[in-house]
Amino acid sequence: MPTTVRKLIGTVLIIILVIAYALIATTVAAALLATSPWYVHFAYFLFTGLFWILPAMLIIRWMLKPAAK
């Protein structure tokens, strides 16, 4: 697969990942943390705010893989 096509697919996948992840993380927070103290909210959003990087790194690694010859 050409690198340009892989980068296009990867970019679309990352956009979908970020949107879906943000919606899911916010929905879970609203459902479970409504009455929690501020530090629980802080810890939850700190963790979930950094956790999306792991799947994004896998997508980026796939995007940058050299084309097969």
**14-67 pLDDT, tens digit each:** 999 999 999 999 999 999 998 999 999 999 999 999 999 999 999 999 999 887
SS3 34: coil
pTM of this structure? 0.80
Task: Calculate helix-pair angle for 53-63, 3-32, nearest 10 degrees.
Answer: 170
**pLDDT tier for residue 7 given thresholds of 50, 70 and 90:** very high
Cβ neighbours for 18, distance < 8 A, ≥ 6 positions apart: 52, 56
SS3 64: coil
Q: CA–CA separation, 31 vs 49, rounded Å?
A: 17
Looking at residue 34, its pLDDT comes to 87
Say if residue 68's pLDDT is above 80. Answer: no
